[in-house]
């Protein structure tokens, strides 16, 4: 059982996001890993131990999958020179140069449910979200970099990492020990929720 927090620091109370977080924690502290997970783009460059990488991958593969086909495949990149090449090649991927790892999330279309791209993408997205949350729980920062459906990004990863069809690069998760902190938040908006009918 996760203990309920009854005290909060001034920083948490001095912003709208902080206030939302405090209210959320008081309502359900068991969800703190969700509120606290943020996209982290600055890393210390410290290597990530193999056992931590293994935990990230175990969490990713604990995700649900259509018809339990598990089409996800992963390329773990920790070589500093390759991370720099990926950082240069991917728009918005500069953080990879200092990351402890770049985890390329791919899907194998030949094993996806009914061979459908949509199922493959949903399965990989579920795995990515698990990976992101567990990275935070383990004290890492992480950021999801979209690859699919941008053909240029797909092509560059195929070339750099020798990824051949029917395996499709879907995203890259940059992960590392964080060199920045961000306030917890939720973007909940009741206007986006409908009950029983639209």
> Picking from 9-18, 80-89, 188-197, which range would have the lowest pLDDT averaged per residue?
9-18
Q: Which DSSP symbol is given to 90?
A: S
pLDDT given for residue 179 in this prediction: 98
Share of the chain above pLDDT 90, in %: 80
Whether cis (ω within 30° of 0) applies to the bond prior to 149 is: yes
Polymer length in residues for the chain? 198
Share of the chain above pLDDT 70, in %: 86
CA distance 80 to 99: 9
pLDDT given for residue 186 in this prediction: 84
Whether cis (ω within 30° of 0) applies to the bond prior to 187 is: no
pTM of the model: 0.87
What is the arithmetic mean of pLDDT over 123-146? 98
For 50-176, which CATH superfamily applies? NADH Oxidase (3.40.109.10)
pLDDT given for residue 102 in this prediction: 98
pLDDT given for residue 1 in this prediction: 43
CA distance 124 to 21: 28
Residues 127, 113 contacting (CB under 8 angstroms): no
pLDDT, the chain, mean:
91
Residues 6+ apart with CB under 8 A from 136: 33, 36, 37, 38, 142
pLDDT in tens, 6-41: 556 666 566 666 666 666 666 678 888 998 999 999
């Amino acid at each position: 059982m996760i203990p309920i927090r009854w005290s909060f620091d001034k920083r948490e109370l001095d912003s709208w996001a902080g206030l939302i977080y405090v209210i959320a924690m008081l309502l359900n502290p068991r969800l703190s890993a969700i509120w606290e997970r943020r996209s982290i783009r600055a890393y210390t460059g410290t290597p990530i131990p193999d056992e931590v990488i293994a935990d990230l991958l175990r969490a990713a593969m604990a995700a649900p999958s259509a018809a339990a086909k598990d089409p996800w495949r992963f390329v773990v990149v920790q070589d500093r020179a390759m991370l720099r090449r990926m950082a240069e090649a991917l728009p918005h991927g500069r953080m990879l140069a200092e990351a402890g790892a770049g985890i390329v999330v791919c899907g194998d279309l030949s094993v996806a449910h009914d061979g459908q791209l949509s199922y493959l993408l949903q399965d990989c997205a579920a795995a990515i979200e698990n990976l992101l949350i567990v990275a935070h729980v383990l004290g890492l920062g992480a950021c999801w970099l979209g690859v699919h459906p941008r053909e240029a990004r797909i092509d560059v990863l195929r070339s750099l990492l020798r990824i051949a069809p029917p395996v499709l690069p879907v995203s890259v998760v940059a992960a590392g020990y964080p060199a920045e902190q961000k306030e917890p938040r939720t973007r909940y908006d009741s206007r986006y929720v409908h009950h029983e009918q639209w």
